[in-house]
Amino acid sequence: MRIFLDTANVDEIRQAARMGVVSGVTTNPSLAAKEGIGTAANYREAILQITDIIDGPISVEVVSLDAEAMTEEGWGISKWHPNVVVKLPSTTAGLEAMHSLSKEAVKINQTLCFSLNQAILGSQAGSSYVSPFIGRLDDKGHDGMDLIRDIVEVFKIHEIKTEVLAASIRSPLHCIMAAKAGAQIATIPYKVLCGMMEHPLTDAGLDSFTKDWEYASKS
Strands, E assignment, the chain = 2-6, 22-26, 58-61, 84-89, 108-113, 129-132, 163-166, 185-188
* Residues at the interface with ligand G3P (CB under 6 A): 6, 26, 28, 31, 131, 133, 135-136, 167-168, 170, 187
Residues 6+ apart with CB under 8 A from 196: 172, 175, 188
CB closer to ligand G3P out of 99 and 136: 136
CA distances from 167 to 40, 67, 161, 208 (A): 23, 24, 18, 38
Q: CB nearer to ligand G3P: give 121 or 137.
A: 137
Distance of closest approach, residue 31 Cβ to ligand G3P, in angstroms: 6
Clarify whether 87 is annotated catalytic.
yes
Q: Is 140 helix (H, G, I), strand (E, B) or coil?
A: coil
Coil, strand or helix: which one is 137? helix
Minimum distance from residue 203 beta carbon to ligand G3P (Å)? 27
What's the min distance (Å) between Cβ of 112 and ligand G3P?
A: 8
Q: Which of 34, 79, 87, 140 is catalytic?
A: 87
Half-sphere exposure of 148 (CA within 13 A, CB side): 29
- Give the nearer residue to ligand G3P in terms of CB position, either 101 or 167: 167
Q: Between residues 38 and 205, which has the closer beta carbon with respect to ligand G3P?
A: 38
**116-125 and 144-157 helices, crossing angle to 10°:** 40
Instruction: Cite the active site residues.
Output: 87
